[in-house]
Structure 1
Amino acid sequence: MRDIQEVIAAIPNDVNQLISEEDYQKQKASILELIGKEVQLRSKRDLYYQQVR
């Protein structure tokens, strides 16, 4: 069985071969945007819980 780190290391190479650089950058940007929204929601939630206590 392949080591998990080997599998993870192989992912970016496979992705780059399957999709164009432009599509890759678009997907990366949308993922980063989603992460940003998640972080904003978490901080709003934490702020709300601080006020409720």
Structure 2
Amino acid sequence: MVYWEAFQEIGDAIFREKQIKAGSRQKKLDLINSMNPLWKDLAEDVENIMDVF
């Protein structure tokens, strides 16, 4: 996993997912590069954050 976002409401997450899926491949690459330019695997980071909840 190279990109993720957290949401309080499932509806907000679904809306955002649809926005991202509707974007071009380049927009998706730009989004990833803006948040994770080294394309680090973020799966472990997400697991650690989710343990807090």
Of structures 1 and 2, the one scoring higher in RCO (CA 8 A, sep 6+) is 2
Higher Cα Rg: structure 1 or 2?
1
TM over 0.5: no
* TM-score, structure 2 as length reference: 0.38
* TM-score, structure 1 as length reference: 0.38
| Bigger helix share | 1
